[in-house]
Structure 1
Amino acid sequence: MKHSRKKNARRYIVAASIGALLSAGVATGAYAGTTEEPSAPAAAPAYQPEMVKALATTLGVSEKAAVERLDREAEQQDRFAELREDRVETLGAFFTKDGSLVVNAADAGAAKEVRAAGLEARVPERGESELDRIKAQLDAKALKSAPAGVSAWSVDLASDTVTVEVNGDSDAATRSFLKAAKSNGDAVRVVKGQEKLETQAVVPPGSRMTFNGYLCSVGYGAKDRNGKQVLVTAGHCIEDLPELAYNGTRFAKGTHTRFALGTRSV
């Protein structure tokens, strides 16, 4: 008997739900002849117009061709994301100048899986994590004593090195920095004869930036309470605190995000 009462109660709930749906349907039908259906909202563009225009200008192509390029890159990113979800061991990825995504695979087996997904693969000597470790050491070195003769240093996944650009080595801090950099052997590539670091390009809000084989949009510049320049952007863009590139040149690194905490996405 106990089982039977539970069954009847369940039937009552289902019947009540159906009754509610029918009542709603009747009410809707009463106004069908007097109410016009709202027109469907216009579909939002897949990419921000400013980003498309900037890419078209950079590549010297039409905006239609720029959108097609973005579509191809987005498709490759989706494949790369699926590989990571499947726990295929990768060591970073980067886009070539022609828009092909090259994935750094941890070993021959991983490279085979990458190629099976329709992406280019290679097995690097080092890979992203090792290069990030070397760059972090150089970052710490520079914080202690700024090397005036060094224009920039950054991870270059394409060459599988940390690239250090030098415009002079007359000061002690620069010589000490270069000594530390060269202690990493051929993992660091020193490029001499570079000009002093100056603003070379403006990265407007909404421009395309890349990281780890993904695309995102640049947010906007700001300063923190100490006057340090920062970039504020969508939290999902820097969830794993990656280094960010614009037109193939790294210009910033994620330092903090609240995205993973479920709060405002910055």
Structure 2
Amino acid sequence: MGRYHYEDSLPVTDRWREIWGLRSGYENLAALERAIQLDGFDNVGDAISVDDWRRYVLSMAERMKIQSGASVFEVGCGAGAFLIPLDELGTSIGGIDYSPSLIEVGRSLLPSARLETSDAIDLDVDEAYDHVFCHSVFQYLETHDVALRVLSRMTRKARKSVGILDVSDASLQEQSVSARRASGSTDYDTRYAGLSHLYIDRLWFTDAAAEFGYTAEFYDSDLQGHRNSPYRYSVVLVPASESLQPPNWHRTGKG
């Protein structure tokens, strides 16, 4: 993949899997708010309202051209925070996550969805969906090579669009780490010892998209109340022969 295809020196660890596998609680909250908290947006400095979250999801749905009646599949779906507003939109839903506890919650909140426990690298590509995406997932992959393999499988599973949402921007890595150190209630280096975040350059996705026959459209993160938004972006991939026009449901005011 040209000059942006390389091996990383980041440590490979199962600690992220252990952390996400232990996520629980928030039983007293309504479904969407509970899913938002369980899916990792309960950090110190995050103040994301349900309304802001729903607006954010529908904005990304517009960018991916997701319409009512479409089939959508989320890689790393967690407890279903991103899927609940799409279910309300009237889509057919599938998803995977490597945390059995989060999948269990997701199934209880989205009983009609097809949610399974699986790693992103093992994504089944036999059954296609219209739109395949992940949200706030790529930073937990071990290397750029693993990210490329996951992205390849996502493009093979999708008929219409692929979304890689809430990506840590490599050009803003120093600022991101500094902000996280400043906002944490505990010592950053102690809390994240042995853990790693994968930061990805936008040009990496441009090259990857071309390799898979897609074009890439980038969006700065606009999730209100998310402390990491200034250092994140999203990328939507569509087959090179198609354009990124917004769907009819949004233009007519639905949602």
TM-score (norm 1): 0.23
TM-score (norm 2): 0.23
Task: Give the number of the structure with larger relative contact order, counting CA–CA contacts within 8 Å between residues 6 or more apart.
Answer: 2
